[in-house]
């Protein structure tokens, strides 16, 4: 399973874009990059995932480098409710099962 | 919107006592996960079920922890006897196929 590396913490001004980086230099060809976030005292919440191409949904955008060794989660207009711990995960699928290893994530603080 | 249910939400127990946690996944989700999350860390997988079968329990401390999913629907995680180091959030998640995991609100265990 590929390990991911994220900064421990980041600050972002409210209304600005939050760019959260993730390094996954050992990711294999069949591992997807998934992002979850965890607001204090709640269960993690799925945000977005991708394999090779950049992805966008109503919550965020995911930019994956061409060599797939790193990615960036973009929250285009951060709000105070986006304050949370963000986890970048290399999600391995095999035989219909997925194997997920969470790291310690990035604590994003959105500042008014 | 369907959700993963967990109970109890909070549990306080004394060391050496037995505790049990219950999880009801989203209907139709064949894969169920139990995670343990120590404060300040990411979730750690304890056990993974595919229907009623265990597919990964390599990180489950089997001398004191047990998990079952008898009918392939809801699941119970038990600790006997509880130790001080078991104080943590216990999260349940479910998924259908190669899709994102849906997490429950968790059970916060405090062992005194």
Contact B42 A102 (CB under 8 A): yes
CA distance B52 to chain A (A): 14
Q: Is B43 on the interface with A (CB under 8 A)?
A: yes
From chain A, pick out residues whose CB is under 8 angstroms from the CB of B110. none
pLDDT tens readout for residues B2-17? 899 999 999 999 999 9
Report how far residue A90's alpha carbon sits from residue A28's, in angstroms, rounded to the nearest whole number.
Answer: 9
| Model confidence band, residue A41 (pLDDT cutoffs 50, 70, 90) | confident
The per-residue pLDDT for range A52-105, each reduced to its tens digit, is 989 999 999 999 999 999 999 999 999 999 999 999 998 877 766 777 888 889
Taking an 8 Å cut-off on Cβ atoms, the answer to whether A103 and B42 are in contact is: yes
Query: Which A-chain residues 3-62 have CB contacts (< 8 A) with chain B?
Result: 34, 36, 41-46, 49
Interface residue of B26, B34, B43, B91 to substitute, partner A, most A CBs within 10 Å? B43
Q: CA-to-CA distance for A101 and A69, rounded, in angstroms?
A: 17
- Check B101 against A45: CB less than 8 A apart: no
Q: Residue A13 belongs to what H/E stretch? A: strand A9-13
Tell which residue, A67, A68, A66, A71, has the closest CA to residue A21: A71
* Residue of chain A whose Cα is closest to the Cα of B54: A97
Rg (alpha carbons) of chain B, rounded to whole number = 13
Tell me the C-alpha distance between A83 and A10, whole Å: 10
pLDDT tens digit string along B12-67? 999 999 999 999 999 999 999 999 999 999 999 999 999 999 999 999 999 999 99
């Amino acid at each position: 399973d590929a390990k991911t590396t994220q900064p421990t913490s980041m600050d972002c001004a409210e209304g600005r874009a939050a760019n959260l980086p993730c390094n996954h230099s050992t990711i294999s060809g069949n591992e997807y990059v998934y992002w979850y976030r965890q607001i204090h005292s709640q269960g993690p919440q799925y945000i977005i995932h991708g394999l090779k191409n950049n992805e966008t949904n109503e919550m965020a955008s995911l930019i994956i480098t061409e060599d797939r060794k790193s990615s960036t989660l973009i929250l285009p207009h951060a709000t105070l409710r986006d304050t949370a711990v963000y986890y970048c995960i290399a999600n391995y699928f095999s035989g219909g099962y997925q194997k997920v290893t969470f790291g310690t994530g990035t604590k994003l603080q959105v500042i008014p | 919107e369907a959700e993963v249910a967990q109970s109890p939400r909070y549990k306080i127990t004394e060391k050496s006592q037995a505790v049990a946690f219950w999880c009801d996944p989203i209907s139709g989700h064949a894969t169920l996960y139990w995670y343990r999350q120590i404060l300040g860390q990411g979730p750690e997988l304890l056990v993974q079920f595919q229907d009623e079968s265990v597919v990964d329990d390599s990180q489950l401390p089997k001398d004191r922890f047990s998990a079952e999913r008898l009918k392939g629907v809801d699941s119970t995680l038990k600790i006997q006897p509880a130790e001080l180091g078991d104080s943590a959030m216990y999260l349940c998640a479910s998924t259908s196929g190669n899709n994102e995991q849906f997490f429950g609100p968790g059970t916060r265990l405090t062992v005194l």
